[in-house]
Structure 1
Amino acid sequence: MRADWTSFIAEDARALTASEIRDLLKVAERPEVISFAGGVPDATLFPLSEFRAVYAELMADEAAGRSALQYSISEGLPDLRSWIADDMAGDGAKRSIDNILITNGAQQGLDLLARLLLSPGTQLIVEKPSYLGAMQAFACRSPAYVGVGMDAEGPLLAEMEAAFQGGARLAYLQPDFQNPTGLRYSLQRRRDVLALAQRYGALLIEDAAYCKLSYDGAALPSLLALDGEGADSADAGTVIQLGTFSKTLVPAMRIGWLTAPRPLIDRMVLMMQASNLHVSTVNQAVALRAAKKAFPGHLGTVRRVYRAKRDAMVSALTDFMPGNVTFTRPEGGMYVWLTLPEGFDARALLEQALEAEKVAFVPGQAFFCDKSGTNTCRLSFSAGSPERIRDGIERLANLIRRVHNQVGEAA
């Protein structure tokens, strides 16, 4: 008798579904396709010379090299955590290295938090729309999503308070250049959201993956920094923050971190020990040395190049898109959010865009916990050249016009 392998799959694992973005990347990698799909960094910006030097220096130092190739502590290398703590302090968030856990990218931090804080049916507040990768990480715990709408300044406070009044005590938020919309919370909205969470005794998970990619406007304090104002203990607080080198240095190192009160860190250290023991020691050592060499000069280059790409996309959208299509004008990050006329199906549009125009994007519905947003799209500007971005937007705009005219004729 042959085993039915599917019957062995646990209920939690059955909740996992394929990422539309990952599937799209397979198609978008074809050279003839202009892709606005994957939110991947521009590989031409990776600081190769610094990494060559770092690897050579590390392995030339016998003691350091042998240490980097050995097992390490689950919390992460103390020197790396110290660098991260100093960097956060420069942005106004004062935390000890004891409040920092190194993770295998920020995505592992999301997985750890899901396993630590969520049980089936736990109410979890998420933005509408929200980061698809986070909802995938949370899905295996079967939370009860409570979607909160957004305006240009951040989450709608009335909806957030209603969620807290309904019993929710946990929220996942992206205050800086949100994936997928590119929006950034205003300073007042940050203060108001934090005040609401503190009033109801709730926890906020702040995803700060894009906070360093600011191109316009004044720097704004993170929720973590605001949470520390007047606090008398770093082991108390309302905000858990996720950070990463993937968007600012290189993604392949898979170096992320999680900042939380020590009691939560202690629990997650035990979870790390039961899963992957610790993040690659050599990757941590290399990332630390590369960050010391590359920042802030490298970050300045990244911001300058991405600002030009952002400008190219916004300019092309302004020049080519029909008047009944709206879009965000992000001050940072990697994304522009497109809203099509009512009645448009972005999934169907994508099929036509790939076939007729060789253009790829991500349909927006995947980013909504309630599967709304069928007429929305996420466009990423990070990987393409300004010239290719403009070409792709013109092709997409022409297609939208054709589809809109066909719908009008059919009506």
Structure 2
Amino acid sequence: MRRVYRRLAVATVLSVLIGSVWNSYAEKVKLVYQYNWYGSSTIEDAYLELIELFKTDNPDVDLELLRGSSGGTSPDRLITAIAGGTPPDVVQFERSIVVEWANKGLLLPIDNLMKISVKSSWLPGSYSEVSHAGQTYGLPWDTDLRGLYWNKSLVAESGIDDSRGPATLAELDDMALKLTKREADGRFTQLGFIPWLGNWYAVGWLYAFGGALYDPATKRPIVNTANHVRAFEWLQTYGERYPVGAVGAVPHGIDKGKTAMEAHYIGYGRIIEASIPDLEYDVGEVPYPEFGQNGTWMGGTAHVVPLGARNMEGAALLLNWLARREIQAVWCRLSASLPTRTDAIPLIVNDLPDYQKKMLRQAEVAFGRPPLWYPAIYNRTSEAMMSVVQLLSAPKTALDEAQRLLEIDFAAVFGE
């Protein structure tokens, strides 16, 4: 009889153990996460390290990983998955296309999944890129900013104070002229400042002079207001003074040693340091007119939940983990990017080089990119700018044509 009881006891224990294992397995949250939207090999290790941290913090999650695709194929791949009913639960996503995809019904709003208000806790520019029709369709992830770089040695050699940049457009124009060197035959040997070079683009000047390029209420572009035209009139004065062809013959860029000032993105400092390690440079705001505003703008990514995602519990878990200020700080240290959650910035600011600390002061006023940013807005406005600085078109004519073409582009996505 004792043997029978013993067997029953063992069987009971085994039953409890097996049951607990199965219950533990059954309770695991399943989650499919597509990371590294652009399939970049340079950022892959950073993502894998972040993912391991998530697994450590969330041992009850059964995480399946999908890597983003290089060569610009991630959008088509995701659309195919949505159409087939097998999308990932959370996708690291190009932030500038969130509104377009939300308007097409390809993304789900995340407001009800979040424990924190994205609108009130994230940088305004980053939130504008994920907000559509009063709802939030993405969690802003990382970002960059833009400002004016200058070569301190070239500035000092011209007898100009190299400890600060130009404060006004008039001062910028004057410094550009003094810092430009030209031979008698018209060849440039040094460029002071050329507004169409760098990583500021036409959009930066349109922002600085005329403000917003998109009206979310009407879902229409705005690139040809009177103040936008004033931006292109100013640009044309540079085209007259510094012919595009002659400028193009100079190896341009501060990292080439022949340019004194350039408007560029926050990562440009690393490029300069890699090219000319001992070059002294500084950064500041790009000047803007009295009637305008700082034209700095941001880029970056977000995390979204695609239409048809099957595990909203898992999506909410991952999104709220990614939203934590300390996780934003971890990612920025791993990827050398900037956080979009406002109160995460103090966690990383002391880790940044001095030039990035200075540029970071602009974060709260940086413009977010409107929908159809690339290729539509970027290409249409850049083509218009180059036509103007090459003296092929009048500023208003060029911008009116850009507006006409963009109206067609936006109507195709948002309707008439």
TM > 0.5 between the two? no
TM-score bracket relative to the smaller structure: under 0.3
Q: Point out the structure with max Rg over C-alpha.
A: 2
